[in-house]
Structure 1
Amino acid sequence: MHFSRNVTTCRVDFGRTEVIDNTLNPDFVRKFILDYFFEERQNLRFDLRLEKPLTGIPGKKCGTIIVRAEEVSNCRVRSVMLQFCGNKLDKKDFFGKSDPFLVFYRSNEDGSYTICHKTEVVKNTLDPVWQAFKIPVRALCNGDYDRSIKVEVYDWDRDGGHDFIGEFSTSYREMSRSQSQFHVYEVTLLSCLVDTELSFLDYIRGGTQINFTVAIDFTASNGNPSQPTSLHYMSPYQLNDYAMALRAVGEIIQDYDSDKMFPALGFGAKLPPDGRVSHEFALNGNPQNPYCTGIEGVMEAYYQSLKSVRLYGPTHFSPVINHVARYASAVTDGSQYFILLIISDGVITDMAQTKESIVNASSLPMSIIIVGVGPAEFDEMIELDGDEERISSQGRYAERDIVQFVPFRDYIDRRGNHILSMARLAKEVLAEIPDQFLSYMRTRGIKPGPLPPPYTPCPPPAINPLLTRRVSRI
């Protein structure tokens, strides 16, 4: 069965269920999670597809699709790995033994049951050991650890008429505690391994420090800052695009930085007093201490730089990326994570070096946000984003996606509401940061520091004891 949803004038495809053979009463395992919007009418469409064409008879009922919906609750336990075995199950086949399998059902709020998992069939045995399987706890009990879970035991038949052996009931809490019971006719829980969901905020509360660095494009393609046509023009009435992008992103990120001290860099300008070109200079004029106090300090340093440096070129990204990467490479234990915001107006002139820098940085605790300002084409910046194709350099691929590129013009409010423009931009450019952060921590096996004791209705499981359930037979 195929499932889709209409959104305004287009159809969003959510996918299809598994195929169930030889039955007119299928009970599908696969579930679909949808976002619910109170203010929208969300039309759902279900397409039933058979191996042979199905021709409906006008005026005659051809079957019913039953849909059960339930609000998904938040659950800190992400998934659980379970393994069961059977002992002395009933013999149902005339020739040979049984071919047993288990079917798991989650109880619903209305008292009904919804299938949530089927094990594989173990052929010709009364003492099966089923393979361990991983299932989201949300699918098993929707976060209610005491909700009843029904397990049915069947003997598989080729024609689909599986013989019922028996059933038992348990709960996630009971399985996670591995409470032991023993009976002559039994299904035994061999192991219960819990995978707890760790969030971005768990690491922040556990002491991980977010280090935010700003890098601003001072190349001549931005135009003379004294002219209103320049992207760097300092109007007494409103922020320019650079300042809006800086404030929009910085004001959110600074809440995750405990000391609110941010390095601020510029690139592509001639510096006083000798006019040398720099692609990695401190906005506050102090290369030994480029830190600014809060976003307001960064804004002030940016405005002062516009008065003292001469816009020049070309546009090199790799020096500022390598600058932050040097610091990130020194702290890989999860205690710090680095975010580099690059704001630029045009074509990258060191594309090969930038790709190499990104590939090198992809193994570090680091993310890169690139905001494109102005009307230029940003094809090269889009390429760096890596959403469609993973970044590579000299045959090496980026270990993970660490770049998010956004053209500011796509989020500017047409009515001139700059607060709304900044909110839209910040939401877009920061959307990928938590996942990028967590991908680094997970691949390195880094756990957050001690957290304040959270409320949890389920204590950590004890894995060693076995849970055995009596099978009620017919």
Structure 2
Amino acid sequence: MNMASIGDADPFTAAIPATKVELTVSCRNLLDRDTFSKSDPICVLYTQGIANREWREFGRTEVIDNTLNPDFVRKFIVDYFFEERQNLRFDLYDLDCKSDNLSKHDFLGQAFCTLGEIVGSLGSRLEKPLIGIPGKKCGTIIIRAEELSNCRESVMLQFCGNKLDKKDFFGKSDPFLVFYRSNEDGSYTICHKTEVVKNTLDPVWQAFKIPVRALCNGDYDRSIKVEVYDWDRDGGHDFIGEFSTSYREMCRSQSQFHIYEVLNPKKKGKKKKKYQNSGTVTLLSCLVDTELSFLDYIRGGTQINFTVAIDFTASNGNPSQPTSLHYMSPYQLNDYAMALRAIGEIIQDYDSDKLFPALGFGAKLPPDGRVSHEFPLNGNPQNPYCSGIDGVMEAYYQSLKSVRLYGPTHFSPVINHVARYASAVTDGSQYFILLIISDGVITDMAQTKESIVNAASLPMSIIIVGVGPAEFDEMIELDGDEERISSQGRYAERDIVQFVPFRDYIDRRGNHILSMARLAKEVLAEIPDQFLSYMRTRGIKPGPQPPPYTPCPPPAVHPLHTRRGLFPSHRRQRCYAPPQTNPSPPEIFRPSAPPTSAPAGSGAPWGSGQIKMQQGLHPALLLASANIHWHRPLCTTASGNEDLQAQQSKTHTHTHTPLITESLAVSCDLQRRYFGENKSALQRHGCVLVTSLYLLLYSVQNVNVISFLVNKSCELY
């Protein structure tokens, strides 16, 4: 289920939604397209953009087997805009196989409406006939809308049954529970189904977690109806009985069991004296928890690590030819580059260092022509990191010029590569996302499945983008939305793969920015849920959130620094002051044998190898002082005002930071105080050192250390 907004597909011009609305779909009297059983229906929702009027798939419900009257549990959560006409289309299909390609399934009918039409209907319930098959009555569709509350609680419930009615002739019953929340008009909306427990009258159902919003929309006293059924293979489930409760009532049962009588109104209506109930259902546990969001973890410091893997197999075509998927056109990005930039530019915002490993697979590498399925795009196996998405793009283009496209297409090596790193950090501080961009058939399918099953227990997700016109049936199989992927009898712990074909998101008018936005929105939609599923199953809580911003008090002023010019009145205080401690003074760093004069016209500061700094010193401070030393004359006048103004003017041409201006003033003042009119190289370097130390230590506001180092530097020079 995709939680995307309905309206204009352009995310840059979309309005702010008024609220989120949950749509629940039911159908009655659908066409029966199966010969020996009933239809297996699924509902697909399409939305229409305002600008281009194109229909785009928004989401799908689950498949319900053997029924012509489905009540779908999976909802569509959409953004509601009062000021827009939000056109919707609901298509019904009878699924005949596991393929996601709808053209391979039987069409059952469709209905058109607007979101406003649903919301504005009596009780926010819209019933319309299904159309689309000439000459046939396709049944009806019922759509209910309800505004979602902002309730973030969830509840873990577990029930068991006792002495339920026997419904099967040759056995007992196969019971399951169906939960409904009540609506304002007195109707009910399905919100959960338990699993079926076979051949027992005393079932114990597995505990399940459900958002309180879904159970009662945040209204603790709203009625919740629970129906008990006996499952039948033909879809005609036998009704055993029902009971009612509320969220508040269930919460009161946290310290003790709560027993509900299961009543069948038909049996009770016959006034049989012996009828008491159709069994009982007991609430075994009710655990309430506040739902943590993806942003809670990001604010708590969790880092998202992004790795990209690009297909360099020969099926992509010769990169020098315009028909190649790797063709480097001077006018536009190819599909690989568009997918890479679209997804990477969003993910990089959650990575503090912006360094991304970029891998390739399926190519022959120079100089020996060996085939590799896990090579760094930058050519450095010891350090495959690229700086930002621009660095990844540059490495990708350089690789196209140096490697030879070959084959076959193996996914497992790059998946295992990321999994090795993810397995080393399982405390929730980091989460790994692997983007694989490929054009064709996977040739190591068994190994890839095994790698995904293993990776499902690690803090990582895999995004697969298919480019080109090929069929991607194998890649669709890896996306475990409908059926969890398995390998050698082991099932993946959770769904970590999201696959999309890029061609489905390309704008027909050639708007590549819009194509990239559509792709990113689709492939990243499942990442927060996959992320949260890992954190929840491991019981990992978000880290402490950073303290709120508070202005720092002005630093204490040492008597040594009270002279005019050392503390300009316009100086802005830093936002984050370190703890006020008195550490032992750090070692002095010394300039080592600088040249007697700088190269003429040189714009560079001291060479990086000529100054050795203690770890933790801020290089920008020394850089500022060194720039002043090499490119400005020393002040020689008593006041220094004229020279100071001239130097400040020159400073502005080199850098636009107030730090340089202040360091110049400090340098001039300290020179006048300690060195007078002497311009020897040693003393000039001493002035640079003193200035750097002053700026460094003033930044940490430690008066004792400032005094120590200023005095120490004066003794040395």
TM-score normalised by structure 1 residue count: 0.64
CA contact (8 A) 1:5 1:43 kept: no
* Matched residue SS, 1:33: strand
SS, match of residue 167 in structure 1: strand
- Over 3 Å counting, the alpha-carbon distance change for 1:293 and 1:158 in structure 2 is closer
1:221/1:346 contact within 8 Å kept: yes
- Contact 1:206 1:448 survives alignment (8 Å): yes
Label 1:348 to 1:394 Cα distance change in 2 as closer, same or farther (>3 A): same
2:366 and 2:233 map into 1 onto residues whose CA distance is 84
Structure-2 change in CA distance of 1:225 and 1:272 (3 Å): same
- Alignment partner for residue 89 of structure 2, among 45, 51, 54? 45
- Offset, 1:97: 31
Distance change in 2, residues 1:93/1:372 (3 Å): closer
Task: Pick closer, same or farther for the CA change 1:306–1:4 going to 2, 3 Å.
Answer: same
Residue equivalent to 1:4: 37
- Which one has the largest radius of gyration? 2
In 2, are the aligned partners of 1:318 and 1:350 still within 8 Å (CA)?
yes
Check the 8 A contact 1:371/1:407 in 2, yes or no: yes
| Cα shift at 1:138 | 3.4
Q: 1:222 to 1:454 in 2, by over 3 A?
A: same
Q: CA deviation at 1:256?
A: 1.3
Kindly indicate whether the alpha-carbon contact (under 8 Å) linking 2:156 and 2:288 is maintained by their aligned counterparts in 1.
yes
Deviation, 1:342, is 0.5
Distance 1:119 1:469 in 2: 78
Q: How has the CA–CA distance of structure 1 residues 53 and 406 changed in structure 2, closer, same or farther, with 3 Å as cutoff?
A: closer
Distance 1:348 1:33, change over 3 A: closer
| CA gap 1:238/1:459 in 2 versus in 1, 3 angstroms | same
Report how far residue 296 of structure 1 moved: 0.7
Distance 1:463 1:135, change over 3 A: farther
C-alpha contact 1:176 1:461 (8 A) present in aligned 2: no
Percent sequence identity over aligned pairs: 95
Residue 332 of structure 1, CA deviation? 1.4
Cα deviation code 1:285-344 (max 9, x no counterpart): 110000111111100110111111111111111111110111111111211111100001
Q: Distance in 1 between matches of 2:441 and 2:422?
A: 26
CA contact (8 A) 1:145 1:457 kept: no
| Distance change (3 Å), C-alpha of 1:346 and 1:109 | closer
Q: Which moved more, 1:123-132 or 1:300-309?
A: 123-132
* Matched-pair contact (CA < 8 Å) for 2:317–2:326: yes
SS in 1 for 2:258: coil
User: RMSD between aligned alpha carbons?
Assistant: 13.5
Distance 1:461 1:32, change over 3 A: farther
Please state how far the C-alpha of 1:73 moved relative to its aligned partner.
Answer: 2.1
Aligned to 2:250: 175
Alignment counterpart, residue 128 of structure 1, candidates 199, 203, 210: 203
Alignment CA distance shift 1:444-1:228 (3 Å): same
SS for the counterpart of 2:39 is strand
Would the alpha carbon gap of residues 274 and 445 (structure 1) be closer, same or farther in structure 2, given more than 3 Å must change?
same
Matches of 1:112 and 1:123, distance apart in 2: 30
**Counterpart contact for 1:189–1:466, Cα < 8 Å:** no
| Residues 130 and 140, structure 2, Cα contact 8 Å, conserved in 1 | no
Structure 1 residues 457, 136: closer, same or farther in 2, change over 3 A?
farther
> Structure 2 regions of 5+ residues with no counterpart?
1-35, 44-56, 93-125, 262-280, 565-717
Contact 2:129 2:140 in 1 (8 A): no
1:51 Cα deviation after fit: 21
Structure 1 equivalent of residue 578 of structure 2 = none
Displacement, 1:465? 60
Say whether the 8 Å CA contact 1:80–1:192 is kept in structure 2: yes
Q: Post-superposition shift, 1:158?
A: 30
Alignment of 1:235 onto 2:235: no
- 183 and 80 in structure 1: CA distance in 2 versus 1, 3 angstrom threshold: closer
Gaps of at least 5 residues in structure 1 are: none
CA offsets 1:198-235 (integer angstroms, 9 cap, x no match):
11111111121111100001111111111111111111
What are the equivalent positions in structure 2 for 1:264-343 lying under 5 Å apart?
Answer: 264-343=358-437
In the TM superposition, residue 402 of structure 1 has moved relative to its aligned partner by 1.1
Q: Distance in 2 between matches of 1:164 and 1:455?
A: 59
Taking structure 1 as reference, are residues 170 and 258 closer, same or farther at Cα in structure 2, changes over 3 Å only? same
Residue correspondences, number: 464
Structure 1 residues 118, 325: CA separation in 2 closer, same or farther (over 3 Å shift)? closer
Q: 1:367 to 1:106 in 2, by over 3 A?
A: closer
CA distance in 2, matches of 1:243, 1:40: 34
Q: Structure 1's 58 and 8: CA in aligned 2 closer, same or farther, altered over 3 A?
A: closer
Superposition deviation, residue 264 in structure 1: 0.2
- Decide whether aligned partners of structure 1 residues 461 and 57 sit closer, same or farther in structure 2, where only a CA change above 3 A counts: farther
| CA shift for structure 1 position 279 | 0.8
Could you tell me which residue of structure 1 aligns to residue 137 of structure 2?
Answer: 61
Query: Conserved in 1, the CA contact under 8 Å of 2:307 and 2:435?
Result: yes
> Does the C-alpha gap of structure 1 residues 61 and 248 become closer, same or farther in structure 2, counting only changes over 3 Å?
closer
Per-residue CA shift, 1:215-262, capped at 9, x if unaligned?
001111111111111111111100000000000110111111121110
Contact 1:5 1:45 (8 Å CA) reproduced: no
Larger strand share, 1 or 2: 1
Q: How far has the Cα of 1:277 moved from its partner?
A: 1.2
Distance of 1:281 and 1:99 partners within structure 2: 54
Q: Is the 8 A contact 1:84 1:132 kept in 2?
A: yes
- Secondary structure (helix, strand or coil) at the match of 1:466 reads helix
Contact 1:231–1:241, Cα closer than 8 Å, also in 2: yes
The one-character-per-residue Cα deviations of 1:127-156 (angstroms, maximum 9, x if unpaired) are 999999988543687558999999999999
Residue 312 to residue 452, structure 1, CA distance change in 2 (3 Å): same
The reply on whether 1:382 has 2:476 as its aligned counterpart is yes
Q: Is this contact kept in 1: 2:37–2:234, CA < 8 A?
A: no
> Equivalent residue of 2:478, what SS?
helix
CA contact (8 A) 2:435 2:464 kept: yes
Q: How does 1:158-173 map to 2 (within 5 A)?
A: none
State the match for 1:27 in structure 2: 71
Q: Which has the higher helix share?
A: 2
Contact preservation (8 Å) 1:268, 1:311: yes
Q: CA deviation at 1:38?
A: 3.9
| C-alpha contact (below 8 Å) 1:212/1:263 kept by paired residues | yes
Cα offset for 1:71?
3.0
From the superposition, tell whether residues 252 and 458 of structure 1 become closer, same or farther in structure 2 (CA, over 3 Å).
same
Partner of 1:338: helix, strand, or coil? strand
Q: By how many angstroms is 1:439 displaced?
A: 1.2
| Residue 380 (structure 1) shift | 1.3
SS in 2 for 1:320: helix
Change over 3 Å in CA distance of 1:425–1:460 after alignment to 2: farther
Most deviating of 124-133 and 421-430: 124-133
The answer on whether the counterparts of 2:175 and 2:230 sit within 8 Å (CA) in structure 1 is yes
Once residues 556 and 232 of structure 2 are traced to their aligned partners in structure 1, the CA distance between those partners, rounded to angstroms, is 37
Partner of 2:350: 256
Q: State the structure with bigger RCO (CA 8 A, min sep 6), 1 or 2.
A: 1
Q: CA offset at residue 273 of structure 1? A: 1.6
Change (3 A) 1:54 1:468: farther
Contact between 1:6 and 1:43, CA under 8 Å: does it hold in 2?
no
